[in-house]
A and B are shown apart, each in its own frame.
Chain A
Amino acid sequence: MTPSAYERWLALYEASATRDAAFSTMSGVPLDPVYGPDDGEFPGLFPYTRGVHASMYRSRLWTMRMFAGFGTAVDTNQRFKEIIAAGGQGLSTAFDMPTLLGLDSDDPMALGEVGRCGVAIDSLSDMRDLFADIDLFTVTTSMTINSPAAVMLALFVAQAEEKGVARAQLGGTLQNDILKEYQAQKEFVFPPRQSMRLVRDTIAFTAAEMPKWNSISVSGYHIREAGSTAAEELAFTLANGFAYVELARDAGLGVDEVAPRLSFFFNAHIDFFEEIAKYRAARRLWATWMKDHYGAKSELSWKLRFHTQTAGVSLTAQQPEVNIARTAIEALAGVLGGTQSLHTNSMDEALALPSEKAARIALRTQQVIAHETNVVNVADPLGGSWFVEELTDEMARQAEAIFAEIAGMGAGSMLEGCIKGIEENWFQGRIAESAYNLERSFNTGQRIVVGVNDFTEGNDDADLEILRITNEDERKQVARLHDVRRGRDESKVLVALEDLTKDALDPEVNLMPALINASRVSVTVGEMMGAMEKVFGRHIEVPTL
């Protein structure tokens, strides 16, 4: 007799180690790891609507991964150490705008932007300082970078190998999701098809040499921040994920080689139940599509693992302390939705980059959810709610309709559909339309934002202490860069750049080895990107309103 869903779940649950904690309510009522009928859906079982692990947070809490970066590499390294000391378990690097666009800190376009939105990384020397005294064997690292993702991976590998950590031992994630850059975040450099060649190269390189590395974090976060609806965030993100699977397949990699290395990154916006439904639908859709459309055989390919960040766009500059409450509610949605890692925004982020105190409160918010509320004892606690189940189905239905439109644009190919949709401004137009509709509902007062269009008493209170990034950081960073240029062997730099250009000209060649070699001899980010731009060209978005 085939075992029931419950029996299969129980076998998985019993094989999982659990944390040393009391799994009961505050008043002593013992709690089951999951509730529901024996023949219903269970966490850890296909299609994973209820979670990717049978034991969920009873085995391991989510990773409290706080995003940080500002000023020079030395400044950010200091913040990284504070995060680790405060109990953070993973690092997530925010880069400044010039780095995100592959420009050196002394580029004329970089003026005023160096070290402001994140850390400035120009060369191996900066990467070395960024991770100084951080144990790369135990701390995993996420790097939020896209257009120059291959360059940043090369620099990271080069600095780790200098420290004696082999590339195969490095655990972490490269965001490397270029499709959503054209759709939403708009930090692009090369044209879409040329960018996808670099994505292919990083997928192939990490598949062959970095078994603990997630090659792409397929990101809906920015799509949502740019103004999409929850269903659009869900559908565009998964469609981009399908496109990367097709890209890797075209490069000769099997779906089961690439899919397990994709992780996802979603927004946690303020509409509590809709967000939870979105995460549940995401897992179900991904599992179904991987198995049925792409023929994945491995369970690891079916399981959608994701990082969550609370919604920056939901924060208000008015009465900023109220943002702590918004962030707590959003973070709770991420946890009840089964996230694998979480970043909570700081209360001051509608004003500036977070101060140390604001960042600590944001981390403490996660710790309250994890250690005080007891919501971590039962997997998918809202599963079976008529409302949440129906909303989950609705999210999935809307996403399927959008998948059909994208596949239609690509004559059946999601990869081609995503690229065509970018080239024809289809994604950009839909996102802008949704953003406009939402803004109209605020302007008409149909939707209330506390402190903005209602409940404004207190808006004139004294300002928060905010983090000030001065132009001093820019001068310091430019001086650091000039030191690097003076101290390096120019003949090696020239050879490395020639090799990179030669490899870039042949679309069959993987660019990672040439980028790592260039990193080692202190070729700068701007120089590597510039050499590739000469071959690949530059993307110009035709503006639409």
Chain B
Amino acid sequence: MANMRVALFITCFNDTLFPETGRATVGVLERLGHEVVFPEAQTCCGQMHFNTGYQREAIPLVRRFVEIFEPYDAVVAPSGSCVGMVRDLYPMAADLAEDDDLARRIEDLAPKVFELSEFLVKRLGVTDVGAYYPHRVTYHPTCHSLRMLKVGEAPLELLRNVRGMDLVELGEAEQCCGFGGTFAVKNAETSAAMLGDKIRRVLDTEAEVCAAGDNSCLMHIGGGLRRLQAGVDTVHLAEILHSTEER
């Protein structure tokens, strides 16, 4: 695979709360020899607004995103959820805006927007990024990477090639952790009930680290684990892949 110029779609959530995930994403892509650019005009893809029902309010954000990212051949984000928004729900936003031109531009852009693990495995054909991570890790496949993007085994293939790592399977892994964006606030009790079961499964694995491809889900799972003083960390997939023996 020839070296590529990749636009990083950091997502507002990672930008503000999890900058280390962004730095790791840049690091992994550069280690593989690709050029990473960061279009600084980017803000938010509009997912929170759109999924909460504030869809008219999301339309300007959709337009901005398309304008900012359409010049690039590949757009990569360390978030299955935000990529899912672009690929699955942007067409609905264009419909709502009754904007055929926007719809066409989304159709062109959407296939070029990737979640990190699918970009590495499916687009670049890389399953070993030369990472080293000497910990016991369990992996939670987040709903949007699993069912919207259908990344399948891609994250697990990457993790299996990480040296020094003890990867343990999570029970009922495919069940939602209960985050769901504003769901976690609007239906806080139900969300907590789902979280309780996810935490039980995580603790069953006796892992030190619970990994995933979305920091939103990890913030929710990790917030619960920390409240319980469970002694289990949550780490984004990108950070594991970025970790080497040297650092």
A pairs with B? no
Binding site for A on B (CB under 8 A): none
State the A residues within 8 Å of B (CB). none
